[in-house]
Amino acid sequence: MSDLALLGGSPTIPDAFPVYASMGKAEEEAVLRVVRSGCLSGFYGSWEDGFLGGAEVQAFEAEWGARFGAAHTVTVNSATSGLIAAIGAAGIGPGDEVIVPATTMSATAMAPIVYGGIPVFADIDADTFCINIASVRANLTARTRAIIAVNLFGQAAPLAALRSLCDENGLVLIEDNAQGPLATENGRYCGTIGHIGVFSLNYHKHIHTGEGGVCTTEDSDLARKMQFIRNHAEAVVEDAGVENLTNMLGFNLRMTELSAAVGRVQLTDIADHVARRENFAAALSKATQGLDGIQPPHVRDNCRHVYYVWAMRHDAEVAGMTRNTFVAALQAEGVPCFPAYVAPLYTLPMFRARIAIGREGYPFNLGSREYGPGLCPVAERLHTHEIVGIEPCAFDFSEADAPRIADAIAKVLNARSELADWRNGEQVA
């Protein structure tokens, strides 16, 4: 009998890893404090003292700004809401193009569509999985108004270079930093290098409030616009003396006092939460270095990677098995891994059919360009054949777990001859 668990052997890791739990007594006490106060939300949708939220929200914003060195902080009820507010504040309107990476969570590309903007997909870098600046340059047109850079998996996109490009061309750089709190590029925090940064506090991020998000900016005008968009702009702009009504269509994107109270506690402990994930990932990278058939995550020079996902690249030719067979074998060994991340967003039905808004659909007027296969070949190849991910934010991994996972990876790779007639996790007859 083979030693491989997929073929009937014993798994390298027989017991499931526990889920990471970041909530504790301090969060419980913070929630009880708010509940006992009787004020679960301090917001009013009118131009008065409550327009900017309650005491917990405002304290959280001040503390977040101090922690990240941001002049202005605007909380929201999700990072998706933060992206919508950021795109609105940037003045995006019908027909304006916003360059986004092909590989990212769908909200990145949805935010421009809310205002009638057109997502233009740039390819990603094969080593970092972040937006490729050469592809960005190739996609610039006279209609380009903004770029959304995603610090995917917790690693900085080429932010300083993108900021320079935006400043040279009168564009707005928005950082989707949902996965990268405390990540840095050249000593600067991701989320503070673009004109606007958007952080996530969704329950499976490094720190969380269940659902929630934070926007940061150095620009007081952008901050003010995001505050209006967050809280029923259309109802308050006259009383507030706002003359530029562009995108002053308000939403309810407000964070509750409960979420803010939890966020304040989580923020206090952010360094410990991030370091735990980072240390495990660094240990796993070291333990897997030199294994034929895989490439551990690449970290850019002068950058801090905080590992929302520890993503390796799989080489089917060297490994002697398909990526999906490799993943199936690892999962059988007890490694909680997954193949790929998300498909390039232009493969979603709404882009294939060009239908998003209204009964007639949204035209997605791309001129001579089209959404379709081959648009971003690197993103497509990585998705279909190479990326294998492990989620340090999802499980309570310790540094001691890294050698066990590395042993499982080596075990599978060393059994390549036994998996030679397997395809995509199933044996070929």
Do 216 and 277 fall within a single domain?
no
Residue 370 pLDDT: 78
Do 201 and 321 fall within a single domain?
no
> Rounded to whole angstroms, how far apart are CA atoms 82 and 64?
15
The pLDDT of 165-189, averaged and rounded, is: 98
What percent of the chain clears pLDDT 70, i.e. is strictly above it?
98
> Rounded to whole angstroms, how far apart are CA atoms 19 and 289?
26
Do 263 and 193 fall within a single domain?
yes
Give the residue numbers spanning the domain of 393.
5-19+270-427
Do 259 and 276 fall within a single domain?
no
pLDDT for residue 1 is more than 50: no
Q: What is the DSSP letter of 293?
A: T
Quote the distance between the C-alpha of residue 134 and its chain's center: 21
CB 288 within 8 A of CB 312: yes
In the Cβ-directed half-sphere of 369, how many Cα atoms lie within 13 Å?
19
Do 262 and 275 fall within a single domain?
no
Write down how long the chain is: 429
Do 82 and 172 fall within a single domain?
yes
pLDDT digits (tens, 9 = 90+) for 7-63: 999 999 999 999 999 999 999 999 999 999 999 999 999 998 899 999 999 999 999
Do 219 and 312 fall within a single domain?
no
pLDDT for residue 429 is more than 60: no
Helix (H) / strand (E) element for 334: namely none
Closest by Cα among 290, 304, 270, 299 to 409: 290
Q: Which two tokens stand for residue 138?
A: 């190739």
The pLDDT of 192-197, averaged and rounded, is: 98
Do 172 and 82 fall within a single domain?
yes
> Rounded to whole angstroms, how far apart are CA atoms 234 and 247?
9
Closest by Cα among 396, 197, 364 to 277: 396
Burial class (CB in 10 A: 0-12, 13-18, 19+), 165: middle
> Rounded to whole angstroms, how far apart are CA atoms 132 and 162?
10
CATH number at residue 382: 3.90.1150.10
pLDDT digits (tens, 9 = 90+) for 348-372: 998 888 888 888 777 677 766 778 8
Q: Final residue of a domain: which of 268, 283, 308?
A: 268
Do 187 and 326 fall within a single domain?
no
Do 296 and 164 fall within a single domain?
no
Do 218 and 296 fall within a single domain?
no
pLDDT for residue 424 is more than 70: no
CA distances from 174 to 60, 77, 84, 89, 414 (A): 22, 18, 11, 11, 44
CATH number at residue 208: 3.40.640.10
Q: Final residue of a domain: which of 213, 243, 268?
A: 268
DSSP strands (E only) in 250-400: 294-295, 303-304, 310-314, 337-339, 387-390
Looking at the structure of the chain, the number of domains it has is 2
pLDDT digits (tens, 9 = 90+) for 241-259: 999 999 999 899 999 999 9
Q: Final residue of a domain: which of 240, 268, 296?
A: 268
Residue 360 pLDDT: 78
